[in-house]
Chain A
Amino acid sequence: MTLDTRSKAEVVNIVLAKYQNDSSMLVGILQDIQAELNYLPREALEMTAEVLSIPLSRVYSVATFFKAFSLKPRGRHGIHVCMGTACHVRGAEKVLDRFQTELCACAGETTPDMKFTLETVNCVGACALGPVVVVDGEYEGQVTAEKVKSIIEGCK
């Protein structure tokens, strides 16, 4: 079954079954649901709460506490600009500025055509290569503002 044809409910059920409806695995459950659906829709949170027999408020608090979760749909390409200290001292701010200018989107926003979501991350643990940008899971090291345009153009 492909992702498109899978309904939200099916995804949630499969993930919950994988974790045997164990509410202590809530963070992992939400991560897996998000990995499938690309964000956490309201229905998914409601279903999770119901099946695990925990209050929706608890699911919501976890879903909004951790940075990794998004309650809004994200773009097809995820661009994560690392703002860790090592990247910061080597000019990550300039790189982020350029991404914002080129995409006309602020950090945390998705472009209206749903193509890109621009996000900042506090450290991706590739500090020796700073400034680092992670594009769809691929690491780009020693990024300069000049390289930004070609990185964006590289996303099809």
Chain B
Amino acid sequence: MVAEKSGKRLNSASELELLCEEIKRSVSARTRTVTICCGTGCLAYGGTKVAQAFRDEIKSRGLESEVEVKTTGCHGFCERGPLVVIRPENILYQRVKPADIPQVIDETLISGRVIDRLLYTIPGTKEKVTYEHDVPFYKKQMRLVFGANGYIDPTVIEDYIGCGGYAALSKTLFEMKPDEVVDEVKKSGLRGRGGGGFATGAKWQSTREAHGDPKYVICNCDEGDPGAFMDRSLMEGNPHAIIEGMVIAAYAIGAHLGYIYIRNEYPVAVKHAEKAIAQAEAMGLLGENILGSGFSFSVKINRGGGAFVCGESTALMASVEGRVGEPRAKYIHTSEKGLWDQPTVLNNVETLANVPLIINRGAQWYSSIGTANSKGTKIFSLVGKVNNTGLIEVPMGITLEEIVYGIGGGIPKNKKFKAIQTGGPSGGCLPASKLDMPVDFDELTRAGSMMGSGAMIVMDEDNCMVDIARYFLSFLEGESCGKCVPCREGLKRMRQILDRIISGQGQPDDIELLENLSETLTWGALCGLGGGAANPIMSTLRYFREEYEAHIIEKRCPAGVCKPLISYNIINEKCPNCTLCIKACPVGAITGQGKKLPVILDQVKCTKCGACYDVCRLGAVEVR
């Protein structure tokens, strides 16, 4: 049994290989594994209760030796959580409740029958799908990095080793010279997944060649981009892959100490990373004399304090040093003078998780996936107004249309697609005419947006693009560290102009003024936060100019969002006085006139919260 060996220090490559074989054998001895997604999404829907119910029920029936219950990290299909997958068949049950468990055990685990009501139904055709790999959401993906999440209990190192984990580390340490590792990563064409898209191999090489000792490796898990949660899900669901990537990076550049910088808002990620470090150290996969190779590297965890700007490399390093997270001008790259002025490699979580894959399967294989200048896959968080929300991993070069409609299943409530926002607050909004565009680093930049960390927020006809631009500006204004004038002052003035437009006070030359300020900000700001801050304005002006004009000239918000420009009204012919809106109104602005007579909405009292509009099932409330 594995338990005897686990926790014991591994002193050579062959010991690791033996352990891996042993774990594989013990896994195949069991007939079934039930994996329960305990990513944040599924937890919010009650994932832990489902897992507990499974454990209790399996125990009370004495099935422990045949069925293994495993809680895993995020599977990605958050919309349908809690998710339960029964392996090896890969039967997917969605929206599972603790009350369903006895039936799942009786029918599926014991009698081998599939329970129809727990299966995923394709919305259009009403077809039921039994297996995970047949669900359209998963079928069109290429889950190289993220796929392991569905098989691994992140708190059990043996699960990772059993899936071939740390084999890349062993290969690196015993079969490759540091230069060869750098070369392999360079040849793979891997580019930074955190936003910049800088070539990872080139970064490693310049740090390797930089003078100075000690050198550092930092893993950036500060994921501040609103709308993105892939780093969180990787760190929570498969922390060992990231640690393995870090050790390989350290070996390549010659570092002996590394830091994982994690947002404090991600407590589970912190916990799992801490546990993974302790386990890897105990087994000789991290720390002194790794696998008996003579190479040593240890990792510390640093928690971020909730500042978006700390995703910027120099600001992040300042924060790791225990100072205020303000960026500095990068006349000298951090690869030469980074943390404590020493050569430092800073890689994003997803980038590092790609590294073991490249080492294991070769740069040639890796670079065969993707487009000319963007190799491999990318994890996107597909969220907003789309049917199948969650995390998806797709090869570079897939079109936006395939993502939104093929994987995402289109827009809910038969609404019209309006825009997709990519790249976080420094990205841009792309309109329907760009849906056929292949997604990679260069194409997105050309279209006026960017890859960023991979947030994709879908918007429908009910979203106002001026409001969205204002949202991003006010977000960035709040996050600006205030060190340089273009960012500190520029963002504030631009937000004030947008406030004016939204409140119906827009002036004819406001658009030109916004364009001028955008240009100044792009060229004048000190760091990437300010440099990209004008993108939401510029892209919405480029693709949705008519909405700005409607606000400024006609004093009208076409999407019915901007409060000062709209009013809620009752359509008398449609209102049967059902009183739902009267109960929903928090300020008592709606009164009834008695049976079957339409209700009256007092415009003076109305705060335009939209509660009546949301609650009315007959379409008797309109926004004008």
Chain A interface (Cβ < 8 Å from any Cβ of B): 22-28, 30-31, 58, 61-62, 65-69, 83-90, 94, 97-98, 101-102, 121-130, 132, 137-141, 144-146
Q: Which of A24, A85, A144 has the most CB of B within 10 A?
A: A85
| Residue ID in chain B nearest A29 by CB atoms | B322
Docked Cα-Cα span, A122 to B481, in Å, equals: 15
Q: Say yes or no: is B323 at the interface (Cβ < 8 Å to chain A).
A: yes
The reply to whether A127 and B305 form a contact with Cβ atoms under 8 Å apart is: no
Q: Write out the residue numbers on chain A whose beta carbons fall within 8 Å of the beta carbon of B265.
A: 68, 121, 124-125
Docked Cα-Cα span, A58 to B321, in Å, equals: 12
Chain B positions 206 through 227: 1 when the CB is less than 8 Å from some CB of chain A, otherwise 0? 0000000000000000011111
- If the complex has contacts A24-B320, A25-B322, A66-B325, are A86 and B226 also in contact, measured as CB distance less than 8 A? yes
Stretch of B111-119, B327-335, B509-517, B608-616 that contacts chain A:
B608-616
Q: How far is the CB of A22 from chain B (nearest CB, A)?
A: 8
| Residue ID in chain A nearest B227 by CB atoms | A85
The reply to whether A128 and B390 form a contact with Cβ atoms under 8 Å apart is: yes
Q: How far is the CB of B436 from chain A (nearest CB, A)?
A: 23
Q: Say yes or no: is B228 at the interface (Cβ < 8 Å to chain A).
A: yes
Q: How far is the CB of A55 from chain B (nearest CB, A)?
A: 12
The reply to whether A66 and B226 form a contact with Cβ atoms under 8 Å apart is: no
The reply to whether A146 and B615 form a contact with Cβ atoms under 8 Å apart is: yes
Q: Say yes or no: is B457 at the interface (Cβ < 8 Å to chain A).
A: yes
The reply to whether B303 and A85 form a contact with Cβ atoms under 8 Å apart is: no
Stretch of B41-49, B127-135, B290-298, B359-367 that contacts chain A:
B41-49
Cβ-neighbour of B307 out of A58, A65, A124 (below 8 A): A65
Could you tell me which residues of chain B, from 423 to 468, have a CB within 8 Å of some CB in chain A?
Answer: 424-425, 455, 457-459, 463, 468
Q: Say yes or no: is B302 at the interface (Cβ < 8 Å to chain A).
A: yes
Q: Write out the residue numbers on chain A whose beta carbons fall within 8 Å of the beta carbon of B611.
A: 94, 98, 145-146
Q: Say yes or no: is B108 at the interface (Cβ < 8 Å to chain A).
A: no
- If the complex has contacts A65-B324, A86-B457, are A125 and B229 also in contact, measured as CB distance less than 8 A? yes
Dominant SS among interface residues on chain B? mixed
Docked Cα-Cα span, A129 to B473, in Å, equals: 24
The reply to whether B305 and A27 form a contact with Cβ atoms under 8 Å apart is: yes
Q: Write out the residue numbers on chain B whose beta carbons fall within 8 Å of the beta carbon of A123.
A: 224-229
Q: Say yes or no: is B319 at the interface (Cβ < 8 Å to chain A).
A: yes
The reply to whether B322 and A89 form a contact with Cβ atoms under 8 Å apart is: no
Could you tell me which residues of chain B, from 307 to 351, have a CB within 8 Å of some CB in chain A?
Answer: 307-308, 319-325
The reply to whether B324 and A85 form a contact with Cβ atoms under 8 Å apart is: no
| Residue ID in chain B nearest A80 by CB atoms | B265
Docked Cα-Cα span, A26 to B324, in Å, equals: 10
The reply to whether A27 and B319 form a contact with Cβ atoms under 8 Å apart is: yes
Docked Cα-Cα span, A32 to B136, in Å, equals: 44
The reply to whether B44 and A141 form a contact with Cβ atoms under 8 Å apart is: yes
Q: How far is the CB of A29 from chain B (nearest CB, A)?
A: 8
Q: Which of A69, A90, A98 has the most CB of B within 10 A?
A: A90
Q: How far is the CB of B195 from chain A (nearest CB, A)?
A: 15
Q: Say yes or no: is B405 at the interface (Cβ < 8 Å to chain A).
A: no
- If the complex has contacts A31-B303, A66-B306, A141-B44, are A26 and B385 also in contact, measured as CB distance less than 8 A? no
The reply to whether B479 and A31 form a contact with Cβ atoms under 8 Å apart is: no
Docked Cα-Cα span, A132 to B325, in Å, equals: 27
The reply to whether A127 and B322 form a contact with Cβ atoms under 8 Å apart is: no
Chain B positions 496 through 534: 1 when the CB is less than 8 Å from some CB of chain A, otherwise 0? 000000000000000000000000000000000000000
Cβ-neighbour of A67 out of B306, B323, B391 (below 8 A): B306
Cβ-neighbour of A62 out of B43, B44, B232, B323 (below 8 A): B323
B side interface size, CB within 8 A:
65
Q: Write out the residue numbers on chain B whose beta carbons fall within 8 Å of the beta carbon of A139.
A: 40, 43-44
Chain B interface (Cβ < 8 Å from any Cβ of A): 40-41, 43-45, 78-79, 223-229, 232, 263-267, 302-308, 319-325, 381, 383-385, 389-391, 421, 424-425, 455, 457-459, 463, 468, 471-472, 475, 478-479, 481, 584, 586-587, 607, 609-611, 614-615
| Residue ID in chain A nearest B45 by CB atoms | A141
- If the complex has contacts A65-B325, A66-B305, are A94 and B610 also in contact, measured as CB distance less than 8 A? yes
Q: Write out the residue numbers on chain B whose beta carbons fall within 8 Å of the beta carbon of A132.
A: 44
Docked Cα-Cα span, A23 to B266, in Å, equals: 23
Q: Write out the residue numbers on chain A whose beta carbons fall within 8 Å of the beta carbon of B40.
A: 125-126, 139
Q: Write out the residue numbers on chain A whose beta carbons fall within 8 Å of the beta carbon of B383.
A: 85-86, 127-128, 130
Q: How far is the CB of A33 from chain B (nearest CB, A)?
A: 12
The reply to whether A140 and B44 form a contact with Cβ atoms under 8 Å apart is: yes
Docked Cα-Cα span, A140 to B309, in Å, equals: 27
15 contacts between A and B (CB under 8 A): A27-B322, A31-B305, A66-B305, A68-B306, A86-B383, A86-B384, A87-B226, A88-B468, A89-B468, A94-B611, A123-B224, A126-B229, A127-B229, A128-B390, A146-B584
Q: How far is the CB of A27 from chain B (nearest CB, A)?
A: 5
Q: How far is the CB of B615 from chain A (nearest CB, A)?
A: 7
A-B pairs, top 6 by smallest CB distance, nearest first, are: A66-B305, A84-B226, A128-B78, A123-B226, A26-B322, A67-B306
The reply to whether A126 and B44 form a contact with Cβ atoms under 8 Å apart is: yes
Please give 17 more A-B residue pairs, beta carbons under 8 A apart, in addition to A98-B609, A123-B224: A62-B322, A66-B304, A69-B305, A84-B227, A85-B471, A88-B226, A89-B384, A89-B458, A94-B610, A97-B607, A122-B475, A122-B479, A123-B229, A126-B40, A126-B229, A128-B391, A145-B614
Q: Write out the residue numbers on chain B whose beta carbons fall within 8 Å of the beta carbon of A138.
A: 44
Q: Write out the residue numbers on chain B whose beta carbons fall within 8 Å of the beta carbon of A61.
A: 324
The reply to whether A86 and B323 form a contact with Cβ atoms under 8 Å apart is: no
Cβ-neighbour of B304 out of A27, A30, A125, A140 (below 8 A): A27
Q: How far is the CB of A52 from chain B (nearest CB, A)?
A: 9
Q: Write out the residue numbers on chain A whose beta carbons fall within 8 Å of the beta carbon of B615.
A: 146
Q: Write out the residue numbers on chain A whose beta carbons fall within 8 Å of the beta carbon of B610.
A: 94, 145
Docked Cα-Cα span, A123 to B265, in Å, equals: 9
Docked Cα-Cα span, A30 to B323, in Å, equals: 12
Q: How far is the CB of A36 from chain B (nearest CB, A)?
A: 14
Q: Write out the residue numbers on chain B whose beta carbons fall within 8 Å of the beta carbon of A128.
A: 41, 78-79, 229, 381, 383, 389-391
